[in-house]
Structure 1
Amino acid sequence: MSGTTAIRTAALVTLTALAGGCSSSGEETAAPGGTTAPAPSASAPATGTPAATAAPSPVTTANTAAVCASLDKLIIAGSRKIADDSAAATRRELTPEQVNAQLKGNLTDLADDVRGQAAGARDPEIKALITDTADWIDAGARSATPVKWLSSTFVGIPRRLTDECHA
């Protein structure tokens, strides 16, 4: 399969995963490098001393909802850009090296945009989740095979955000 065909396929897989992100089971989470790890279990025993948990303030809850909604839009827009650029790469008959460079640039831009959302998050757990997501996307930009990373790891990001990014 040519590099251009591979990126088109990966982009299609990514967009499909985005569309199905809300219906996932939440049993696994994609990790950097394309591996999967079990998602944290809600029934896992707590460690340490019990702490009083305060409900988030209405301001923090509203901020989290806004940040998560913006993050969803960024991930979808980034995926569409990757798909659009891959279609353009086919028309321009780019080499696999050019396709990889283009994809790495798209992923770097997306990671920067995602990191910008983390800066606006008031909830420290949401901020950490978004920063971690940006780090994962950066790992894809640094990957020797970003097309493989896109179809193995990136497709898990929307599901993870659907499961974890909410007030």
Structure 2
Amino acid sequence: MSRSVVYARRAAATVALGVLAVGCQDSAREEAARGGATPPSPTATASATAPSPSPVATTAANTAEVCREVDRAIVAGSRRIATDSAASVSRDLTGEQVADQLRRNLAKLADDVRAQARRAADPQIRALIEDTAERIDAGSRAPRPAAWMDATFTGIPPKLTRECRA
């Protein structure tokens, strides 16, 4: 097996595992978005006399939901990358085949992230997520996507953790 194939597989697996670890912060973010409280019961929210949520509360809820879904998309995409990387060993793929597979996975991930950007009510959050999708798309077009993942992709989840919040 060539050195570049081994490097590509190792890089993809390492990055994917790192992203999966960051994705575990999703539950903490979800709890914080709820303010640490238990969600209201369905009967409490079904009251006809309950006031309508304010636009700010609605935007905050939308932001929390969209950010959570972006996290999920990145974790799912990272799992796909790790699974395909591991499977490429048994399939004895060439370096270029591994790179093409990684490009396809990154393009799918960018599409999934972009779909969440369209749902964002907050223009700043929409711009952040669109920028994230563009950055992932750049990786799908990179001549060496595994090197791009090492250099760039690893910084995406921490940035989203810091900036994607209500």
TM-score, structure 2 as length reference: 0.76
Using the alignment, how far apart are the partners of 1:63 and 1:129 within structure 2? 14
Report the structure number with the largest CA radius of gyration.
Answer: 2
Structure 2 unaligned segments of length 5 or more: list them. Answer: 26-53
What's the CA shift for 1:109?
0.6
What's the CA shift for 1:20?
4.6
Whether the aligned pair in 1 keeps the contact of 2:16 and 2:81 (CA below 8 Å) is no
Specify the code of the residue in structure 2 equivalent to 1:112: D
Higher helix share: 2
Secondary structure of the corresponding residue to residue 57 of structure 1: helix
The number of residue pairs the alignment matches comes to 135
Structure 1 unaligned segments of length 5 or more: list them. Answer: 23-54
Flag the 1:56–1:153 CA change in 2: closer, same or farther, 3 A.
farther
Specify the code of the residue in structure 2 equivalent to 1:86: S
Q: Counterpart in 1 of 2:74?
A: 75
Root-mean-square deviation (Å): 1.8
Q: Counterpart in 2 of 1:123?
A: 122
Whether the aligned pair in 2 keeps the contact of 1:15 and 1:80 (CA below 8 Å) is yes
Q: Which has the higher contact order (CA 8 A, sep 6+)?
A: 1
Q: Counterpart in 2 of 1:93?
A: 92
Q: How does 1:98-117 map to 2 (within 5 A)?
A: 98-117=97-116
Q: Counterpart in 1 of 2:135?
A: 136
Whether the aligned pair in 2 keeps the contact of 1:17 and 1:155 (CA below 8 Å) is yes
Using the alignment, how far apart are the partners of 2:89 and 2:156 within structure 1? 26
What's the CA shift for 1:75?
0.3
What's the CA shift for 1:12?
3.1
TM-score, structure 1 as length reference: 0.76
Regions of 4+ moved over 6 Å: none
